[in-house]
Structure 1
Amino acid sequence: MEIDNNLVENAVRPLAVGRKAFLFAGSHQAAEMTATMYSFMASCKRNKVNEFDWLKDVFERIQSHKQKDLYQLLPSNWEPACR
């Protein structure tokens, strides 16, 4: 067993630091959107996907995707568009 838990503390620090900021999101809807973006970014990190590249690609492609195929743009299923 490790004596310290620095890995765990580092993993939860962004949530702990942002907790007070979330109180001032502006509205309930804004707070929900912020939580959604945090979830997407955490999913990108978990799947070893560059967050900026994923977000840029999704914004460029989402309008042309059919609703039934949107799951392909999730970080766990995402493959960059061939350019």
Structure 2
Amino acid sequence: MTTHFDFHYRRLKEAGRKLSEELDPQDFKRWDDIREAARTAIALGAGIIDTIPHDGRLKGAALRATHDLIARYEIAEIAA
């Protein structure tokens, strides 16, 4: 069974891979938006934030906390 976190984590990683490819500006924007939406959804689901930022991008403490959560998840997956 896939959890909410797993779904958005997979989208975040997929977007990261796509952004490392050579893309035209329109595709780059699309994948960057997908990455940010996935990151925001993870933060919302984890209770790190309770509202979506007006520009849709996490910043400051919320961004760091979300990165830390993702890093802990990745470490747990590797160790499993």
Q: TM-score, normalised by structure 1?
A: 0.35
The normalised TM-score by structure 2 is 0.36
